[in-house]
Structure 1
């Protein structure tokens, strides 16, 4: 028996055995197990298994943190035992029927927006690179100035940086139709209708240069470039309407009638009802967010930087994706990312202190790679594998996050994009902010590291916790 097959068998046994496991999938770092009865899970036994960096039950799944590469090999061994393997999306759908209404709603929100995030990450990187290449200091190194950059080159960069946000409603509607069981291409076309060039451009209207089209004398109709909520709500209702129409229409007419009626009804509702109402609501949410971020004395940085990783534990952090998108649309920058980066870096700093201070070879082997994972922006191994297990390191990480968040807030640090943090996140701060970004991360890491080293961890505390 190989080491990986031994680990797989031990995980299966600690998860309640094959009879208790309904399906298994994996993501980049975690084995995701849907079980019949979570009370049969022996979490302590799972966490004691070699190669396991932590485990927790969330969103209807028992998730075992194994790390990149390792999880693929363990998953293969699990399947050899005869258990059913499913894709991550299938397991999410299966687990989606579990939990209370709020938890299911947040999972659904995440399922809609997570597939869009890679495109927005790429757009943010394009913005960062554009900011880099047009800096006078950078151009001076090669003997150029801003006047030497051609208009055609700037136009090319605008294609890279603006396209995803201009057509964002199409991406949101496509993903929403997909999640709610509609035909994704119908959702895509519905979203494209919301940004049709026949409509007044939302940015031009916001700038005051163009007036919205007024229907019935009081309904303002505009395009919804970079808007999220109108496309999201239209996508939910459109997917449900499409399924209802398809059930009523004879099969011979389905190809013609279903997409025609779905698009006709939904674009009418979207332009005249959903759009105006939810665009106004979106504005209120954005105003509230900007108000919090504008709190004086770095209070917003302390609050968000200190509490962000608690929100991550609950699994509801995906709801903030919409806020980051709106910040990028309204400001052309994302101050939220800078604060969140501090909270992530701090958890890595706390874990690093545990890894360097402990004499336990197993804990050291777990903590050091987990801290590096956090510095790459993935905190689950650090949080669930180390910091939460001994609790005080997690608290010290929260304090470090608050300290770094405070510095990010008072200095006005802003990202050019979203969704990547700490080391990869440096690419979002190439527009003359890189030194301050590095300083914010170092402050967060240092505060969490020193506090954890002095007050947050000792091997004696570890023994007491494990004996309890």
Structure 2
């Protein structure tokens, strides 16, 4: 469907107080994110009537308007043009709200700012790894053998896809180093160099660390011996916390050096001193501490879920969607990646995928219940978006508007999460968090995950159909009495 993006942008601009009320504006995958001078000037009711606007809310000083994937790019381009403002990043817009955020919100913002730019690389790697898992899974398509066993000619394709899939995870510290340096105000190229340093081929591969630390099969940890000071010669492939902390330190070192080094020597001295100091600290202090902290966090999370799996799954399944409303869900990207690095798979991401499916199912039920063509259109497109991992249109545009569908989706998500947690379903990578998610699930867990997906489809749809239908009928009778 073709939309008049210029007219939509003009209406949005009019209803948020005009160009003079905008400090900065940016956009993410689905939302316009605008820093306003005075949010009281926003005409909430009129804004809801604008085409493509599926909802709006304010969080930590940033006013957010839910548009939807794809359309938000075009609306933003028109908004910037008509308002006569410069394009900004999400970090720029969020910075204006920092003074209104508590410590937890600021920490979440850091994770969001760092991981959002590299998310496409992680998702692509997850999908390719999922395809590879399916090719090599015994009994998935053929009895007692994999597709590779039946068709040896696929081995070359399997190897190529495997290399493509592993690239983002093997060099993840370089991706995080680039994004974190940008976020912390340092040189992005130095962030990449620091990240690559932590995965240098001369270092022991991080996935062999446990074997070497335990002395299994005669393996031993290698060290740099610097005048008696021993530094573990170990890499940090797939690790998040070491490079995140090391890049923060690197940026502080660089920012301290720049005003103190003469301009003539800046290009020579600042990069060398920054990398040497931060590199030594990363390998000698920051890396080992952050690695053990990451292991401790993931072990604690696994312990809690092992101790009371049904309770952990119930709470996560019911609370993940509300966390999306606050933006705190971005923290789980780091948790997932840490679990994959330390445990060989994550049990968090499959529950996230089911939560997305549940929101889409509730929106789909509202498509069948809606009376107007506009409501049907919004519900159907929002449901499809949620089934492919983008839930904001479904939540803000449909489910939260009627409330009961949102609660039905939470119930369905919790039930599905308990089911797959009971079967210890894990994903080997992060992929598209919706119906295509089964590709990234460890092959032997796919049947149970699909059963969970069925629960996430049926329960929200059924509850929404029963409860929201009564709600809409009661509202219709009330309107008829006042007519």
TM over 0.5: yes
Q: Offset at 1:416?
A: 2.5
Name the counterpart of 2:331. 319
Distance 2:429 2:120 in 1: 11
- The equivalent of 1:452 in structure 2 is 464
For 1:199-348, list aligned pairs within 5 A.
199-208=203-212, 209-213=219-223, 220=232, 222-296=234-308, 298-348=310-360
For residue 61 of structure 1, report the CA deviation from its aligned partner. Answer: 2.6
Distance 1:123 1:79 in 2: 33
Matched, 1:170 2:174: yes
| Structure 2 SS opposite 1:420 | coil
Q: Which moved more, 1:146-155 or 1:193-202?
A: 146-155
Q: Write the deviation string for residues 197-247 of structure 1: whole angstroms up to 9, x where unpaired.
A: 333333222123232528657865522222211111110110121121111
- Paired position in structure 2 for 1:190: 194
State yes or no: 1:356 paired with 2:360: no
- Give 3-state SS (helix, strand or coil) of 2:345's partner: coil
Tell me by how many angstroms 1:383 deviates.
1.0
Corresponding residue number in structure 1 for 2:79: 78
Once the 2 structures are TM-superposed, how far is the Cα of residue 152 of structure 1 from its aligned partner? 6.7
1:104 Cα deviation from its structure 2 partner: 2.7
Unaligned 5+ runs, structure 1: none
From 132, 136, 143, the equivalent of 1:134 is 136
2:54 alignment partner in structure 1: 53
C-alpha spacing 1:119/1:69, structure 2 compared with 1 (3 Å)? closer
Distance change >3 Å, CA 54–CA 431, structure 1 → 2: same
Q: What's the TM-score, normalizing by structure 2?
A: 0.87
2:15 and 2:46 in contact (8 A); partners too: yes
For residues 146 and 290 of structure 1, what CA distance do their matches in structure 2 show? 37
Indicate whether 1:390 and 2:399 are aligned.
Answer: no
Separation in 2 of the partners of 1:41 and 1:21?
Answer: 11
The 1:170/1:130 distance shift into structure 2, 3 A limit, reads same
Conserved in 1, the CA contact under 8 Å of 2:209 and 2:221?
A: yes
Contact 2:177 2:195 in 1 (8 A): yes
8 Å contact from structure 2 (residues 137, 443) kept in 1: yes
Give the Å deviation of 1:19. Answer: 2.2
Deviations for 1:296-326, whole angstroms, at most 9, x for unmatched residues?
5533322211111111111111111111101
Which shifted more, 332-341 or 232-241? 332-341
Q: Shift of the alpha carbon at 1:460?
A: 5.0
Q: 1:333 to 1:462 in 2, by over 3 A?
A: farther
Distance 1:257 1:91, change over 3 A: closer
| Structure 1 equivalent of residue 119 of structure 2 | 117
- In the TM superposition, 1:28-47 aligns within 5 A as 28-47=29-48
Task: Specify the alignment match of 2:413 in structure 1.
Answer: 401
Q: Single out whichever of 386-395 and 73-82 deviates more from structure 2.
A: 73-82
Q: Go from structure 1 to structure 2 and tell me whether the alpha carbon gap of 1:461 and 1:16 turns closer, same or farther (over 3 Å shift).
A: farther
Q: Distance in 1 between matches of 2:150 and 2:60?
A: 51
SS of structure 1 residue aligned to 2:185:
coil
For 1:181, which of 177, 181, 185 is the aligned residue? Answer: 185
Q: Is the 8 A contact 1:165 1:329 kept in 2?
A: no
Change (3 A) 1:85 1:146: same
| Structure 1 position 387, deviation (Å) | 1.6
Q: Deviations over 1:38-61 (max 9, x none)?
A: 222222221122332111223533
**Deviation by residue 1:124-176 (Cα, 9 ceiling, x = unmatched):** 22221111212344467999627947987665454334333332222222221
By how many angstroms is 1:394 displaced?
1.3
TM-score, with structure 1 as normaliser: 0.89
* Count of residue correspondences: 465
| CA root-mean-square deviation | 2.9
Q: C-alpha distance in 1, partners of 2:146/2:255?
A: 59
- Distance, in Å, in 2 between the alignment partners of 1:407 and 1:241 is 49
Give 1:371's aligned residue: 383
Residue 419 (structure 1) shift: 4.5
State the shift of 1:377 in Å: 0.8
- State the match for 1:426 in structure 2: 438
Q: Which runs of 5+ in 2 are unaligned?
A: 213-218
